[in-house]
Amino acid sequence: MTVLDHNLDYDKPIKLADCVYWVGFNNPNERLHSNPYLIYDGTEAILIDGGSRPDFSTVMRKILQAGVQPNQISHLIYQHYDPDLCGSIPNLEQIINRPDLKLISKKENNPFIRHYSVRSKMLCIDRIGHQLTMQSGRVLRFFPTPYAHSAGSFITYDESSGILFSSDLFGGVSESSQWKLFIELDAACGPCTDPQPRSADEACLTIQAPCVWTGLHLFHQQIIPCNKSLRYALSVIEGIQPTMIAPQHGSILYRPEDIRYAIDRLRSMNDIGIDGIFCEAGV
């Protein structure tokens, strides 16, 4: 797969693989971009981490542009319960308007997701064998990643495309003018071992651009509870061996060497969540 970011129109759905689309919102005023994803195979569609209420009109417009009618969406998948991905649930339920619409999450998430005025049937990944088979035969597999960042967090793997929808894992923050949907690490970035996160806006002297690892580091430092939960999630991902990692925030990794570097970089971080407070205190 070859991607040229300057040719991408972020105002339209962007195809990641056969039947898989990014339908997110590139808000030029925000440092944190949300990435809902659409799988449309045959006559059935599934929406993953559908987005916030303010983003709903943009996300739905892109779903329509991808050739999907709202009532073709059979399942909504929510990999945790935050408003940046669950906020539009009432809007989606209303426009999809089908009595058999199902919401897939995990039992630890569902009590919180109910507070978005959910009307549809809610399923737990543990009760459906950690997988969903679409009418076309396409299989999505669900892997729990507890406390990365919530107790019920999980990730979703599309067997057909090899894409891993990683939720908050591999997310990052960046200046809006610097954000790209697909990222290709500079040759100097991958092996870089600079342990000090500089400002997300400060240019790296080596590549004369903001440091990719800084945005990654700062995001995980704030959103993941501790080193152990992050490292456990990384071990799960290594077992899956995805060909692409599509996070809910930040940029998509699609080159094998970049995926490897990102995993190694995250594993090397020792100041995630509460462990960062202990580091500062010298505990």
Does the pLDDT at position 104 exceed 60?
Answer: yes
Band of residue 183 on the pLDDT scale cut at 50, 70, 90:
confident
**Entry pTM:** 0.92
Question: How many domains are there within the chain?
Answer: 2
**206 & 109 share domain:** no
pLDDT value of position 1: 42
Does the pLDDT at position 202 exceed 90?
Answer: no
Band of residue 283 on the pLDDT scale cut at 50, 70, 90:
low
Distance between CA atoms of 226 and 53, rounded to whole angstroms? Answer: 30
Residue type, 162: G
pLDDT value of position 280: 63
Distance between CA atoms of 262 and 146, rounded to whole angstroms? Answer: 20
Band of residue 2 on the pLDDT scale cut at 50, 70, 90:
very low
Give one word for 147, left, alpha or beta, with left for phi > 0 and alpha for psi -120 to 50: left
- Our CA angle for 110, 112, 115, nearest 5°, is 110
**186 & 110 share domain:** no
Band of residue 97 on the pLDDT scale cut at 50, 70, 90:
very high
Confirm whether 36 is domain-assigned.
yes
Confirm whether 246 is domain-assigned.
no
Distance between CA atoms of 123 and 106, rounded to whole angstroms? Answer: 7
**161 & 274 share domain:** no
Band of residue 26 on the pLDDT scale cut at 50, 70, 90:
confident
Range of the domain at 264: 176-240+258-281
**41 & 130 share domain:** yes
Mean pLDDT of the chain: 89
Does the pLDDT at position 110 exceed 80?
Answer: yes
Q: Where is average pLDDT lowest: 145-154, 259-268, 271-280?
A: 271-280
Q: Where is average pLDDT lowest: 12-21, 215-224, 274-283?
A: 274-283
Does the pLDDT at position 209 exceed 90?
Answer: no
Helix/strand/coil (H/E/C) assignment for every residue in 30-61: CCCCECCEEEEECCEEEEECCCCCCCHHHHHH
Task: Tell me the pLDDT tens digit for each residue of 32-88.
Answer: 778 999 999 999 999 999 999 999 999 999 999 999 999 999 999 999 999 999 999
What residues does 105 pair with on adjacent strands? Answer: 124
